Amino acid sequence: MNVQVISCVNEARAEDLSQKTVVVIDVLRATSTMLTALANGCHEVVPVETVLQAKSLQTEGTLLGGERFCKKIPGFDLGNSPLEYKSYQVAGKTVIITTTNGTRAIQKASKANHIVIGSMLNAKACAERMAQLDNEIAILCAGTQDLFSLEDGLCAGLIADELLRHLQAASGSPAQVSFNDFGLAMLNAYREVQHQLTDTLLSCANGKRLTKLGFKDDVLYCAQVNTLAIAPQVIGGKLEAIPACL
Amino acid sequence: MNVQVISCVNEARAEDLSQKTVVVIDVLRATSTMLTALANGCHEVVPVETVLQAKSLQTEGTLLGGERFCKKIPGFDLGNSPLEYKSYQVAGKTVIITTTNGTRAIQKASKANHIVIGSMLNAKACAERMAQLDNEIAILCAGTQDLFSLEDGLCAGLIADELLRHLQAASGSPAQVSFNDFGLAMLNAYREVQHQLTDTLLSCANGKRLTKLGFKDDVLYCAQVNTLAIAPQVIGGKLEAIPACL
């Protein structure tokens, strides 16, 4: 199995993503939020690139969610905080979401064979899905404004670690996975800080920015590992929750 | 002190490098080779971008060194293997060097206040020089063909670790250094593999490539930490050895 970790959306070349399974990660906060919405019973999540697209897709009973500059978009029902996406808000509903980096990463992966949504919350489920789907995998860190973000890189390392563990448990022998150099770096960075994930996320650029804007609880929530056993895929432009075991 | 680690030459923006101290790293093998030449008594190293430039600068008594596609350039005196740059070859001489990635990284840093040449061999000396020179530092990993190379990233992490240790020893209290997210990732990746550096370098893309081409001894040599106590700077387009303590 070949696993290529890509540091940010800007670094992804079309050939790195097409005909592969692509895992898209935007820990703070887009993919954590989408996963939370689905885990809380949301019928489907529709990620779109622009505010205009989101508004044009709105029908009765759908919710609009997302952010620009980390803040809720005027006229939208929900922001980009996973803590807003409670069952009573989203159960049974379609949520149309637009965010700065995460939805852009999903669009960039449009030529992939499969697109899986990953975060720390569902790392194990995500790794199990990857192992089922493909031998050629790209893990795309969304990053922030075309720069690498530590939380996405550490999450890529965590998912790589879960993948190795899963493959080894399944075969009974050490997993044969070939990582690119950046993937090896992220795997090792994750292993070094795995017992201080929350503090590390609070000290990286986005962790500090969100804390300053009053979203520290979001950072604490998104730093949790393997709390959600779903591995949603983007099919026909929409995400639906698929339990890890299916 | 602000330290920004940049993943490869292609990722460096002019404003990230100008008016700062820039540490250039190309562990396999350009900067390791330049440092070895200087430690072995070479009078000066002149890094240039093209083969033509190198040839045009040659005069009697100078040596031409470097590589294309990891191999010695036809008509050149030396390749890019640090093990070729013995005292009897280089002592007292000027060596003009051109390599694929390392010399390009040095050129890219031309607007820096200071350019320091770093590798695993001189990480401690390099960190001590950085602490003397500036509070605004960029560590530029050369990478390979516009992609991140693990050995350069780990070396950036090692130099960052030496810097923290040096500042703490000097002040007696924890060092106040602000790293960018990529720098934090490299610092942690280095710390995770610090006791298996040789194996890690043999298993990364360039380590494998060089081993396949018959240069495994170069990888083993370049994986050594703090064997050279020099921190050369590029001044007027040339490198001269400057001991760490000066």
> Is the CB of residue A220 less than 8 Å away from at least one CB of chain B?
no
Size of chain B, expressed as the number of residues it contains:
246
| Closest CB from A149, A154, A185 relative to B186 | A185
- The answer as to whether A39 is a domain residue is yes
> Is the CB of residue B199 less than 8 Å away from at least one CB of chain A?
no
- ∠ Cα B101 A5 A134 (to 5°): 130
Reported as a pLDDT band with limits 50, 70 and 90, residue B16 is: confident
- The answer as to whether A196 is a domain residue is yes
- Do residue B181 and residue A7 have CB atoms under 8 angstroms apart? no
> Which has more pLDDT, A141 or A242?
A141
Reported as a pLDDT band with limits 50, 70 and 90, residue B92 is: very high
Q: E strands, A60-125, where? A: 63-68, 71-72, 94-98, 114-118
According to DSSP, residue B243 is labeled B
- The answer as to whether A26 is a domain residue is yes
- Do residue B148 and residue A7 have CB atoms under 8 angstroms apart? yes
Say how far residue B120 (Cα) sits from the centre of its chain: 8
pLDDT at position A240: 82
Q: Is the peptide bond before B209 cis (omega within 30 degrees of 0)?
A: no
> Which has more pLDDT, A15 or A194?
A194
Other C-beta atoms within 10 Å of A170: how many? 11
pLDDT at position A245: 52
Half-sphere exposure of B138 (CA within 13 A, CB side): 29
pLDDT at position A243: 65
Q: Which residue, B145, B236, B144, B153, is CA-closest to B200?
A: B153
Q: What's the one-letter identity of residue A236?
A: G
Which two three-digit tokens encode residue A104? Answer: 């852009």
Mean pLDDT in residue range B107-113: 93
What is the spatial distance between Cα B110 and Cα B14, in angstroms, rounded to a whole number? 9
C-alpha distance from residue B68 to each of A211, B30, B145 (Å): 48, 11, 12
Is the predicted pLDDT of residue A244 greater than 60, yes or no? no
Reported as a pLDDT band with limits 50, 70 and 90, residue B244 is: low
Q: Least CA distance to B156: which residue of chain A?
A: A185
According to DSSP, residue A7 is labeled S
- The answer as to whether B246 is a domain residue is no
- The answer as to whether A246 is a domain residue is no
Reported as a pLDDT band with limits 50, 70 and 90, residue A70 is: confident
Mean pLDDT in residue range B1-28: 94
Q: Least CA distance to A188: which residue of chain B?
A: B189
Is the predicted pLDDT of residue B241 greater than 90, yes or no? no
Q: Least CA distance to B204: which residue of chain A?
A: A181
What is the spatial distance between Cα B86 and Cα B82, in angstroms, rounded to a whole number? 8
Q: Least CA distance to B13: which residue of chain A?
A: A147
Which of B154, B161, B184, B204 is the best residue to mutate to test the A interface, defined by the most A CB atoms within 10 Å of its own CB?
B184
pLDDT at position A154: 98
Q: Which residue, A196, A137, A198, A199, is CA-closest to A162?
A: A137
Residue B216 maps to which CATH number? 3.90.1560.10
> Is the CB of residue B185 less than 8 Å away from at least one CB of chain A?
yes
- The answer as to whether B245 is a domain residue is no
- Partners of residue B191 in chain A, C-beta under 8 Å: 192
**Burial class of B199 by CB neighbour count within 10 A (0 to 12, 13 to 18, 19+):** exposed
- The answer as to whether A62 is a domain residue is yes
Q: How many domains does chain A have?
A: 1
> Is the CB of residue B189 less than 8 Å away from at least one CB of chain A?
yes
**Do residues A149 and A141 lie in contact, with contact meaning Cβ atoms separated by under 8 Å?**
yes
- Do residue B189 and residue A193 have CB atoms under 8 angstroms apart? no
Domain extent for B48: 2-240
Q: Least CA distance to B155: which residue of chain A?
A: A185
> Is the CB of residue A179 less than 8 Å away from at least one CB of chain B?
no
- Partners of residue A154 in chain B, C-beta under 8 Å: 185
ipTM: 0.94
- The answer as to whether A30 is a domain residue is yes
Label residues B31-66 b or e (16+ Cβ within 10 Å = b): bbbbbbbbbbbbbbbbbbeebeebeeeeeeebbbbb
